[in-house]
Amino acid sequence: MIKDITIGQYIPGETFVHKLDPRTKIVLSILFIACLFIIDKFVGYSLIVAFLSLTIYTSKIPLRYLYKGLKPVFFLIALTATLNIFMIKGGELLFSYGFINIYEEGVRIAVFMALRLIFLIMGTSVLTLTTSPIELTDGIEKLLKPIGKELAHELAMMMTIALRFIPTLIDETDKIMMAQKARGADFESGGIIKKAKSLIPLLVPLFISSFRRADELAMAMEARGYRGGAGRTRMKQLMFSSKDIVAFVIFLILLIGSISIRVFI
């Protein structure tokens, strides 16, 4: 389960999506999330599926990475769907047993919300899978520039380092779990309370390792003369290209379609 988390991972490539300006991908990701909340009918999801299919195909991201990104949140998706099924009432009564009543509207909302979560995770995963940490930092910094150059740089650096360290900490957690299992630790049997207690021997070395890595990173940055955003130059300057215009035009079609479906259908 731990290795299935794909947040923060980057898959190098030379595809159309990889070559987009990071600012374009960040803005489109935010607007994509907005589109998911604009859409209130199943027919609107056909546009989302078409857009995601085009994005995944052009970025050449293996589907197994997207599936691995969904696996850790399957429980959350199932929990959300279950709560909607039993809590929402409306429409035709489909099933009744004692105090359990399942209505048509509850099932519809449950499926609708489950699909929204799946599309949300898949869409945002494309951003990190096709954008390197350095590009992500530069893109966030440029977008936050109105709040102040130095503050924008520090915020972008902190967010990107935190995102980049997720795969590192996942690997570290897996190694510690394997070492603890070799010493007889049991992380799988028992109830929820017992499983929670069994994680204590895992959390302590993980925290120690995290602080050690943070200290090593700080020393490495200081040794290389890092002094924040003041006077910092870049080897590669971010520049919009015709590819970014094409991406915005394609997404504009999705946005107009989503709004039209909500208003007129």
19 vs 13: CA distance, rounded Å: 8
**Predicted TM-score (pTM) of this structure:** 0.78
Give exposure, 158-169, as e/b (b: 16+ Cβ within 10 Å): eebeebbbebeb
33 vs 202: CA distance, rounded Å: 35
Q: How confident is the model at residue 184 (pLDDT cuts 50, 70, 90)?
A: confident
Full DSSP string of 73-120: GHHHHHHHHHHHHHH---SSEEEEETTEEEEHHHHHHHHHHHHHHHHH
Residue 212 lies in a domain: no
Residue 157 lies in a domain: no
Domain limits at 47? 1-131+238-265
Domain count, the chain: 1
Beta bridge partners of 263: none
C-alpha dist (Å) from residue 51 to 129, 136, 191: 17, 22, 42
Could you report the per-residue pLDDT of 215-259, keeping only the tens digit for each?
888 888 888 877 766 666 666 778 889 999 999 999 999 999 999
135 vs 6: CA distance, rounded Å: 18
User: Tokens 């102040």 sit at which residue?
Assistant: 148
Please give the average per-residue pLDDT across 13-39, as a whole number.
93
Distance of CA 210 to the CA centre of its chain: 22
Could you report the per-residue pLDDT of 85-136, keeping only the tens digit for each?
988 888 888 888 878 888 889 899 999 999 999 999 898 888 888 988 778 8
Residue 201 lies in a domain: no
255 vs 159: CA distance, rounded Å: 28
Residue 203 lies in a domain: no
Sign of the C-alpha dihedral, residues 149, 150, 155, 161? positive
pLDDT at 47 over 90: yes
Could you report the per-residue pLDDT of 128-171, keeping only the tens digit for each?
889 887 788 788 888 888 877 777 777 877 877 777 777 777 77
265 vs 260: CA distance, rounded Å: 7
Please give the average per-residue pLDDT across 2-22, as a whole number.
79
Predicted pLDDT at 217: 84
Residue 139 lies in a domain: no
**155 and 140 in contact (C-beta within 8 Å)?**
yes
